Amino acid sequence: MTFLLLGVNHKTAPVEVRERLAIPAPRLAEAMRRLAQHPGIEEGIVFSTCNRVEILVASANGAADLRGFLRDYFATDVAAYESHLYEHREREAVRHLFRVASSLDSMVVGEPQILGQVKEAYATARAVGAVRSQLDALVTRAFAVAKRVRTETAVGSSAVSVASAAVELAKKIFGTLHGKSVYLVGAGKMSELAARHLMAQGASAIFVANRTHERAVALAGRFGGQAILFEQLYETCDRADIVLTSTGAPHALFRREHGELFLQRRKNRPMFFIDIAVPRDVDPEMNKLDGIFVYDIDDLQAIVAGHVADRRREAERAEVIVTQEVERFLARLETQTVVPVIVSLQEQMETIRQAEIDRVRGRLGRLTPEQEQAVEALSHGIVNKILHAPITTLKTTAGQPEATTVIEVIRRLFNLGDDKKAGS
């Protein structure tokens, strides 16, 4: 049994290629069913996300033609994509899957979505029967590895986008964002994104003010928020706990005196200004007020840069874990392939031994307990001596390339039959 993996990802292929090979979610089940029926393939699973398309199969003889499957499935000439494809076998295929599931192969290392995507693919593959014992063991092991990486390293723990860094800071100030209100000053793309992050964490009551009022109305509509005339900005701003500014104003909109006014109206409840405009909308002097916290785009980016460096360091530790886990998985797999043969070999011999003793007992008549013991010992001794060499050979070849041949030969020589095939 061999694991094979063929695929493209964001590192090897531009989006034009990835989208060409992507299989949309509704068609994944059908694709996996066809994959599992492809000649030479026992089991198969397909991962198709925006950053990768990968086919992973378990093949009995290791000669599955994955390119052939791609060619048939897409009815296209895969040779055109050859330079973007990567192929891994056995150990490297296992390692690759572990790295993907642990988000070490992601564009943003440590992002948590990939594990969910792998889990979805696994559920689909199981449902259509494309994944059974072999791949099941491998993929569920990948989940365990991903979990270990997540708990033992900090690879996924820090914010690596400006928006998530802003959310993290807001939580440091307010604890929970539930019931906190957000004021968007300027209706840009970036502030919309950050607002979505804040709302996903429970922030409510969105206000939007924009110089062009229509855009404020449109954006407020998308959030179920309230559009406010730009002229009323200073009268209404104290209602917000978090103010996100992104206007194109040439001078600071919010200065120290505004901050003092807001604090007075708010009875000093804290305010968090996130200023992603360049030139800045918030005078940095405001940060000196007790109860007002100002972060501009450089501050946020500095946090992100620090976190990216942290992640890189943590990713190195994660790689060590993955290497350990690959070795552990393969070692277990190797012994698993020979164990059933050893067991059926021993069972076979025991059956023969018992049959022979029963046969000879009729002729020997009553035996004394000592004689009975001697017969048992003699027959056991012979069987063990005969089995010693084949069992040792099986154990030593476990994991070697010739293991399959050895297993096959021993099955045939001892007439073990195929019904107890490894793992199935």
Partner 1 sequence: MSLLWLRVALVFYGLGLVYALAALGGRGKRMTRIILPAMGTGVVFHFVSLAEAVMASGQLAPATIHQSESVFAFLILLLFLGMYGRYQTLSPGIFMFPLAFLLTFAAAMGEAPPQFASAALRSSWIATHVALIFTGYAALALSFTASLLYLVQERSIKSKQTDGLMSRLPALEVLDEMGYRALLFGFPFMTLGLLAGSVIAQEQFGAAYLRDPKIVLSLLMWVVYLVLVYTRWNAGWRGRRAAFLSTFAFLVAVGAWAANYFSVVHRFLGP
**Interface with partner 1, residue 172, by CB under 8 A:** yes
Identify any residues that bridge with 56 across adjacent strands, giving them in sequence order. Answer: 5, 45
Supply the minimum distance, in Å, between the C-beta of residue 38 and partner 1: 48
Check if 50 is active-site: yes
Supply the minimum distance, in Å, between the C-beta of residue 87 and partner 1: 41
- Residue 151 — φ and ψ, nearest 5°? -85, -30
**Interface with partner 1, residue 239, by CB under 8 A:** no
**Interface with partner 1, residue 306, by CB under 8 A:** yes
**Interface with partner 1, residue 303, by CB under 8 A:** yes
Return the number of the residue (279 or 306) whose C-beta is nearest partner 1. 306
Cα–chain center distance at 138 = 13
**Interface with partner 1, residue 267, by CB under 8 A:** yes
Q: Judged by CB under 8 A, which stretch of 80-88, 119-127, 214-222, 261-269 contacts partner 1? A: 261-269
**Interface with partner 1, residue 178, by CB under 8 A:** no
3-state helix vs strand vs coil in the chain, percent to 5: 60, 15, 25
Return the number of the residue (166 or 333) whose C-beta is nearest partner 1. 166
Return the number of the residue (98 or 295) whose C-beta is nearest partner 1. 295
Q: Residues near 411 by Cβ (< 8 Å), separated by ≥ 6?
A: 341, 417, 418
Supply the minimum distance, in Å, between the C-beta of residue 215 and partner 1: 31
In whole angstroms, give the CA distance from residue 230 to residue 216. 9
Of 44, 56, 35, the closest CA to residue 101 belongs to 56
In whole angstroms, give the CA distance from residue 225 to residue 117. 32
**Interface with partner 1, residue 175, by CB under 8 A:** yes
Of 211, 230, 227, the closest CA to residue 219 belongs to 227
Supply the minimum distance, in Å, between the C-beta of residue 287 and partner 1: 6
**Interface with partner 1, residue 287, by CB under 8 A:** yes
**Interface with partner 1, residue 299, by CB under 8 A:** yes
Q: Judged by CB under 8 A, which stretch of 10-18, 120-128, 288-296, 373-381 contacts partner 1? A: 288-296
Given the residues 25, 50, 127, 305, the one annotated as active site: 50
**Contacting partner 1 (CB under 8 A), which of 24, 250, 251, 290?**
290
**Interface with partner 1, residue 291, by CB under 8 A:** yes
Supply the minimum distance, in Å, between the C-beta of residue 239 and partner 1: 16
Supply the minimum distance, in Å, between the C-beta of residue 140 and partner 1: 27
Supply the minimum distance, in Å, between the C-beta of residue 319 and partner 1: 23
Return the number of the residue (120 or 168) whose C-beta is nearest partner 1. 168
Supply the minimum distance, in Å, between the C-beta of residue 77 and partner 1: 51
**Contacting partner 1 (CB under 8 A), which of 174, 226, 336, 346?**
174
Q: Judged by CB under 8 A, which stretch of 25-33, 50-58, 77-85, 284-292 contacts partner 1? A: 284-292
Q: Judged by CB under 8 A, which stretch of 6-14, 62-70, 85-93, 168-176 contacts partner 1? A: 168-176
Write the DSSP symbol of residue 14: -
Q: Judged by CB under 8 A, which stretch of 52-60, 141-149, 294-302, 410-418 contacts partner 1? A: 294-302
Q: Residues near 165 by Cβ (< 8 Å), separated by ≥ 6?
A: 159, 300, 303, 304, 307
Q: Judged by CB under 8 A, which stretch of 166-174, 207-215, 386-394, 411-419 contacts partner 1? A: 166-174
Q: Report the catalytic residues.
A: 50
Applying CB under 8 A, the residues found at the interface with partner 1 are 168-169, 171-176, 266-270, 287, 290-291, 293, 295, 299, 302-303, 306
